[in-house]
Amino acid sequence: MKSEEEVLKAIGERLKAIRIQKGYTSYEAFALDHDLGRMQYWRLETGKTNITVKTLYKVLEIHEMSFPEFFSTGFD
């Protein structure tokens, strides 16, 4: 079983990969374009904060992605 830190890091890595796939090379540009706090979003991508379901839902809505789609890859 993964530790909490490992799970948060995996979520952050997945968010970063999705952002890059959508054409955003910068977390700052993504955050600004979608009315998210730059530092808050950076902390999410780096796994340095405990993401809430509400925040994850908001980011996944931006990407037009469901929870099952998000968690289907990279969480073995």
At residue 1, the pLDDT reads 82
Number of domains in the chain: 1
State residue 76's pLDDT score: 66
Q: What is the pLDDT of residues 39-76, one digit of tens each?
A: 999 999 999 999 999 999 999 999 999 999 999 987 76
* Mean pLDDT across 29-48: 96
pLDDT above 70: residue 5: yes
In a domain, 76, yes or no: no
Report helix, strand or coil for 13.
helix
Instruction: Please report whether residue 66 resides in a domain.
Output: yes
In terms of residue numbers, what domain contains 9?
4-71
For 4-17, what is the mean pLDDT?
95
